[in-house]
Amino acid sequence: MEYLSIGKLKILKNYSKTEGIFVDSSNNEQEGSRYRFLLDGIAKYSLVVEYIKFSDGTGIIGLGGDFAGPKLLYNNLYSRLRIGTFELGDKSWCEIRIPRKSDKNPNRLTAQKVLLEDLDSRIGMPGVKEFFLCNGALDIDTREVLIGDESNRKSQLSIIWNHKDLVFPIVVFVLSRLVPVTQELLKTENAMDDIIYFGETASIEKPITLKTLLMKDENSDLEFKKSSFFSANEKTYGKQITHDLERTIVGMLNGVVEAHILVGVDKNNNPVGIGQDFEFIDSGTTKWDSWLLMVRNHLVNIFGLGIVTNFISIGRHDIGQGDSNPVVDIFIKPIPLTEDLQKDRFGDIWIRTMNGTQKPYSKNELDKYLELRKKGMG
């Protein structure tokens, strides 16, 4: 898998694609294609950024999927501050507007007009125009110059790119939406640690902290592992994750409830981190980034990118040593009933039973589990 880096942020260029009916910027249902990308580096968990291209040539870029990240980011970006895109021949374009605090409501950011000469200062990084041009932009100027607009919006800064380029719209969203909002996050004390989870079909948000997770006993929705490379029966020395960890992920994907696997927790529920695992990682960047890439590649090879993007979020909790020795939090959402049960590297199905993971002993047992799962998720 290949990444595009923007400072500490990394956009995974591989994407999952879904064809279907989606809601456009006018709140109308329309046929389209949804492309989902993973973004690392903004918070404890990976975020999902999606680009929906509709049949009429318009599009929307924004955060998508289940959200696990800073509450302030959720309040200002989830289902808000999306970017509308438009087609012009074989090109796509959009306006560039930067979120700022509203005069009427200082707790709510609104997208506001920006001039080209102010782009660097408003986004908070040098060379933004050059970065855009080096990574897919064909031009950046006013609507009047780019598309010949003569309306009252002709002076709005806009950007244009090849309509077949699916990664560049994500770059536009990250730079013109996520980065400025993150600047506001950094100004607010402890905002990056105020993590919440909110599912696409959820009715309430719920906090996620290491402390609250460690206070619970292992159950169908929680399991502790000391290492990703070493278990009682297996030593992989960093070549791949253990089968013990893999089958637990399979079981939770095939489960009924959202679940966490904490890696870097000993048998007494003490957070010890996964620093020992990092010793077996060949680091091209940071140990954490290299570990995350290796594990994500492994999971994509087993389950496919669509499952990993939509149902598995990999995050980390700081136990005082930063990224050099975090506790890893693998947050898993059960696959819908319309999906086939997931299998491990050997083609085996695993299911969760209280605080354990097991194979169904017979077809009859599997059928009973499927019926119970249907009732539990129905």
Name the percent of the chain lying above pLDDT 90: 63
Cα 195 to Cα 73: distance, rounded to the nearest angstrom: 10
The better pLDDT of the pair 4, 45 is held by 4
Statement to judge: residues 162 and 249 lie in one domain: no
β-strand pairing of 222-225 with 259-263: parallel
Q: How far apart are CA 244 and CA 111, in angstroms?
A: 47
pLDDT score at 121: 94
Tell whether 152 and 280 lie within a shared domain: no
Please indicate, yes or no, whether residues 147 and 240 belong to a single structural domain of this protein.
Answer: no
Bridge pairing between strands 195-198 and 67-70: antiparallel
The pLDDT score that the predictor gives to residue 201 is 60
Whether 165 and 231 map to the same domain: the answer is: no
Residue 42: inside a domain, yes or no?
yes
CATH number (domain holding residue 218): 3.30.950
Does 45 have pLDDT greater than 80? no
pLDDT of residue 49: 94
Say yes or no: 177 and 316 in one domain: no
Residue 204 lies in a domain: no
Among the residue ranges 7-11, 196-200, 227-231, 242-246, the one predicted with the least confidence is 196-200
Stretch 47-62: mean pLDDT, rounded?
95
Q: Would you tell me how many other CB atoms lie within 10 Å of the CB of residue 2? A: 8
What's the pLDDT tens digit per position in 179-208? 998 888 777 777 667 777 777 665 566 777
- What pLDDT, on the 0 to 100 scale, is given for residue 284? 65
- Confidence class of residue 116 from pLDDT cuts 50, 70 and 90? very high
In a domain, 201, yes or no: no
Q: What is the pTM assigned to this prediction?
A: 0.82
Q: Which amino acid is at 148?
A: G
Beta carbons of 200 and 79 less than 8 angstroms apart: no
188, 217: one domain: no
Tokens 């990976």 correspond to 46
In a domain, 323, yes or no: yes
How many folded domains does the chain comprise? 2
Furthest-apart CA atoms within the chain: distance in Å: 70
pLDDT digits (tens, 9 = 90+) for 298-329: 999 999 999 999 899 898 899 999 889 999 99
- Residues 82-96: what's their mean pLDDT? 97
Of the residues 133, 158, 193, which one is the last residue of a structural domain? 193
Of the three residues 165, 193, 221, the one that is the final residue of a domain is 193
Give 97's pLDDT tier (boundaries 50, 70, 90): very high
Q: What is the DSSP string of 145-163?
A: HHH---STTTTSEEEEEET
Q: What confidence tens digit (pLDDT) does each residue in 278-287 have?
A: 998 877 678 8
**279 in the same domain as 238:** yes
203 within some domain? no
Q: Are residue 164 and residue 231 in the same domain, yes or no? A: no
Q: Which domain holds residue 174?
A: 3-193
Pair 357, 237 in one domain:
yes
Of the three residues 169, 193, 217, the one that is the final residue of a domain is 193
One-character DSSP codes across 20-63: EEEE-TTS-EEEEEEEEEEEESSSSS-EEEEEEEETTS-EEEEE
Q: Average per-residue pLDDT in the chain?
A: 90
Domain shared by 159 and 256, yes or no: no
The confidence score (pLDDT) of residue 182 equals 86
Burial letters 314-332, b for 16+ CB under 10 A, else e? bbbbbbeeeeebbbbbbbb
Contact 25, 58 (CB under 8 A): yes
Amino acid 203: pLDDT: 55
The verdict on 35 and 123 lying in the same domain is yes
pLDDT at 81 over 70: yes
Q: Considering only residues 5 and 191, tell me which one the structure prediction assigns the higher pLDDT.
A: 5
Task: Give dist(CA 179, CA 76) in Å, integer.
Answer: 12
| Closest alpha carbon to 153 in 123, 116, 113 | 113
| DSSP, residue by residue, 206-218 | EE--HHHHHTSPP
Q: Is residue 281 domain-shared with residue 355, that is, in the same domain?
A: yes
- pLDDT-derived band at 43 (thresholds 50, 70, 90) equals low
Residue 64 domain flag = yes
Asked if the structure places residue 234 within a domain, the reply is: yes
pLDDT in tens, 240-275: 999 999 999 999 999 998 899 999 999 889 999 999
Residue 228, in any domain of the structure: yes
Region 126-149: mean pLDDT is: 97
Task: Name which of 205-209, 334-338, 352-356, 363-367 the model is least confident about.
Answer: 205-209
Three-state DSSP state, 70: strand
